[in-house]
Chain A
Amino acid sequence: MSTTLVSLVSMGGLAAVFAFGLAVASKVFHVETDPRVDEIFEVLPGVNCGACGFAGCSAFAEGVATGEAPVNGCPVGGASVAKMVAAIMGVESDGPNRQVAQVLCKGGLAEAKQRGDYDGPRDCRIAHATQGGDKACSYGCLGYGSCVAACQFDAMYMDENGLPVVIEENCTACGKCVDACPRDIIMLVDEEQGVHIRCRSLLTGRFVRQVCSVGCIACQRCVKVCPTEAIYMQDNLARINYDKCTNCQACVEVCPMNTIEWQEGKGLLDKAAVS
């Protein structure tokens, strides 16, 4: 019994001495680290699974702070953690603005003509590679939701009109949907930009009218009305130069097909310095 007691006391005493020494040393050798590292570490799941490719959560937090790891690199935490990490890193504010995905097609089930029934697998890439889906427009959205399936952040859904919708608050601009879309309809755009030409068709106006009620017919009205020359015409499609667009919405009003869309809630931009 006495041996047990002596062991406990002696080892406990040693441990206490070392603990005290280390506590003092941690004050003396305290290093001012990037406070974001600790903040990020706090919001991570803390399971040290290593699925991010770093040696545990603290290494990942350091990686994010130094820019080696993406803010959405934690697969366990998912969208919620990615959002918190992004907030800590100030991804919205520092450097270029946060980007969000924009779907550049308005031709849903109601607007785009069908040219037949498609019975193949409900996957845009397969449909595109085989029959090109059931829509008559060969440039528009196929509507099978491969982009939504690719999104890991619950930032997209298919609306009842058969078009993908981006929930901009959740979008991390990871680019998965951009890669998933076989028709290059999705694009990452600065989140402040509110005017979008939602069409990718290179057909001339006549043929666009035959397949879709909201496609760009290359009438050039938007090009003429744009005060900052942000819109230009190329291959029968009006295109927007986001570097110049000030969100003035002049083009939105003149577009006869309602192809150009204004997203409510975005403000005017001062681009005087850019042009």
Chain B
Amino acid sequence: MTLFTILLSALLVNNFVLVRFLGICPFMGVSKDVDSAIGMGLATTFVMVVAAAVTWLIQWFILEPLGLPFLQTLSFILVIAAMVQLVEMFLHKTSPALYRAMGIFLPLITTNCAILGFAIMGVQNSYSFIENVVFGLGAGLGFTLALVLMAGIREDLRFADIPKPLRGVGIAFIIAGLLSLAFGGFAGLV
């Protein structure tokens, strides 16, 4: 596996949202307009990249040597929660508008299963440090891509004549399904 294939795999072929179906909550919640979708995606990407580095160090320098792999979930969640706190403070300082736009979904990155999922997968795949970071970057960018695609479509949908029962979340789930099917086309690329 070259770094490029790891990136491409996490970004498109095994996109965390549309192929692995992880992190659906923010995918639905913050995909109403493109700006906040980009913000949310980049915040998540940042958390993923940092978490990739830290979780790798914890896994191979603390958990494995001490024979504590069963503490993986606990310690990874600790890392993620701390990173999210950091991002939240950073955003509050630098971009109050984005901070408000993301609202409750910002602290909820903590419970975004895509992050914990990728961290555990990275360990399972026995990636090296660099590979793991690239894997995190790909996962984060893939999440951002899915969010922005969805937000773009939903922005256009505002002017579409949607049957009444499907308006809002209903049509959003149908579109998510179609997007997922489309991403199925990347299978076999890597």
Contact = CB atoms under 8 A, between A and B. Distances in A.
Interface of A: 3, 6-7, 10-11, 14-15, 18, 21-22, 25-26, 29-31, 55
Contacts of A29: 89-90, 92-93
Given A6-B68, A29-B90, A31-B96, 6 more contacts: A6-B66, A7-B68, A10-B63, A21-B86, A29-B93, A31-B93
B67 interface: yes
Interface string B39-81: 0000000000000000000100011001110010011001100
Given A3-B67, A31-B92, A11 B78 contact: yes
Given A6-B66, A29-B90, A11 B75 contact: yes
A11 B74 CA distance: 9
Nearest to B79: A18
B85 interface: yes
**Which interface class (under 10, 10 to 19, 20 to 34, 35 or more) fits B?**
20 to 34
B51 to A, nearest CB: 12
18 contacts: A6-B66, A6-B67, A7-B68, A7-B71, A10-B62, A10-B63, A14-B58, A14-B62, A14-B78, A18-B79, A21-B82, A22-B85, A25-B85, A25-B86, A25-B89, A29-B90, A31-B92, A31-B96
A101 B85 CA distance: 47
Nearest to B104: A55
B94 to A, nearest CB: 8
A25 B89 CA distance: 8
* 10 nearest CB pairs, A to B: A29-B89, A18-B82, A29-B93, A31-B92, A6-B66, A31-B93, A25-B86, A22-B85, A25-B89, A10-B62
Interface centre among A3, A14, A26 (most CB of B within 10 A): A14
Interface in B1-20: none
A15 B89 contact: no
A22 B82 CA distance: 7
Contacts of B74: 11
Contacts of A6: 66-68
A29 B92 CA distance: 8
A10 B68 contact: yes
B78 A18 contact: yes
A10 B65 CA distance: 11
Contacts of A55: 103-104
A3 B159 CA distance: 60
B30 to A, nearest CB: 15
A7 B103 CA distance: 35
Contacts of B67: 3, 6
A148 B75 CA distance: 58
Interface string B106-129: 000000000000000000000000
A176 B190 CA distance: 67
B66 A10 contact: yes
Nearest to B70: A7
A22 B71 contact: no
Interface centre among A25, A30, A55 (most CB of B within 10 A): A25
A196 to B, nearest CB: 44
Contacts of A7: 68, 71
Given A29-B90, A29-B93, A31-B92, A15 B78 contact: yes
Nearest to B85: A22
B71 A10 contact: yes
A217 to B, nearest CB: 59
Contacts of B103: 55
A18 B103 CA distance: 24
A25 B79 CA distance: 15
Contacts of B82: 18, 21-22
